[in-house]
Amino acid sequence: MNQPIQDNTRKQIRNILAFIAAVLFLAILKISSGFIIPIVVAFFVFVLVNPILAKLDQLKVPRIISTIFVMLLVLVVFILFVYVFFLMVNMLIQPDGIPAYVSRIQNFDRYASSFIAPYIDEDPETFTILGFLNIDWYGVLMASLTSISGKFISILSDVLLVYVYLLFIILERQTIFPKLLEALPRGKAQRAGQLVSRMNRQMSKYLELKVIISVATGVLFYFVSVIAGLDFALVWGVLAMILNFIPTIGSIVSTAGTIMMAFIQFAPDWSHVIYISLLMIAIEMVLGNIIDPRLQGVQLNISPLVILISLAVWGYIWGLAGMFLAVPLTSIIQIISANIPSLKPIAIMLSEGADYRKRFYSKRKKARFHQETRSESHDNLPDDSK
């Protein structure tokens, strides 16, 4: 009699302990972010270059040569990225960069404020949006950019740390599965191997396509900016490429930034502003909503709401790096949960739910049909049998 109650109590205790363990684990990730982030980034870079290593292995290229080739390739990409990034920052802090736009931004602020003031009962002659917000935007922005430029050694050391971790991961790649098979019981080892292979396959495809789409977005933003005469074309191209790794929010920020720049630079030439706005929005719509989903297919079956929540959670834990890593990390959690029976409800809640929705409405339709059939049969019975 008491057994069901005891089982229910144990289940509730396990759930509470699991929740506490998850919170503690996230707290540890936040506290040790400086140590863990380079390792996680190195892991995802490895997942990105692993198909190249696998192809070189198929071609019977010696392991040392394939490792040197991939590490040189990654080094070139790292150096190119760091160079372009700091070139962009230095471009903005030069006298012909942001400082040259102070008066234009103030004029645009007064122009926009004149339309908003009547709706909030403010004097159009004295009211300004920037004054109302009471933010020293110029000081904050220049201080941030100067701080980034001054952290060159720190950023370079982080990149070097990621590079060293990546080298050791590549050197260990051929011993991971043998050690896994030896360390775990036969059944669990096989299941763990399948799980790792699935994660590697899914993350590799996602990261490859994301890099291709992001680079294409950055190149298109750059060339459209150059053709349209929009200032700081390199900045918009680099930002569009980087922010495209942050789902939804990144695309909105990069597109809004170029449109705002068009307003500041060309207003009141509205035809030029509309022209640039339509082109930038079209790039994001075509690449983000048509090409990217078609290439990805159903590879990442994650709910859009879950993606936004994961951006907030991982952004809080690891800052900007967490927002870049949010989707792949959430996908890994979903894959692991789907292969562990006790965690399967988590995988279901993280999924997009299209299959479950079809199944749910199909069951409702069948239940409604059976109910209507029984009702009609009952109505057709003689009165004395009802």
Task: Give me the helix-helix angle, 186-228 and 304-338, nearest 10°.
Answer: 150
pLDDT digits (tens, 9 = 90+) for 290-347: 776 666 544 556 777 788 888 888 888 888 888 888 888 887 888 777 777 777 777 7
Structure tokens at 296: 């990805």
Q: How confident is the model at residue 4 (pLDDT cuts 50, 70, 90)?
A: low
Specify the residue for token string 């012909």.
96
Percent of the chain with pLDDT strictly greater than 90: 3
pLDDT digits (tens, 9 = 90+) for 165-179: 999 888 888 777 677
Give residue limits of the domains in the chain.
13-174, 191-298, 300-368
pLDDT digits (tens, 9 = 90+) for 105-155: 777 777 777 777 777 766 666 777 776 667 666 677 777 777 766 666 777
What pTM does this model have?
0.74
Q: Which of 288, 308, 313, 293 is nearest to 354 (CA)?
A: 293
Residue 126 has φ and ψ, to the nearest 5°, of: -115, -20
| Integer angstrom CA distances of residue 70 from 53, 61, 75, 213 | 7, 12, 8, 22
pLDDT digits (tens, 9 = 90+) for 49-98: 888 888 888 888 888 898 899 999 999 988 888 888 778 877 777 777 77
pLDDT digits (tens, 9 = 90+) for 331-366: 788 877 777 777 777 777 777 665 655 665 565 666
Rounded to whole angstroms, how far apart are CA atoms 326 and 385? 64
Q: How many CA atoms lie within 13 A of 300 on its CB side?
A: 27
User: Which amino acid belongs to residue 136?
Assistant: D
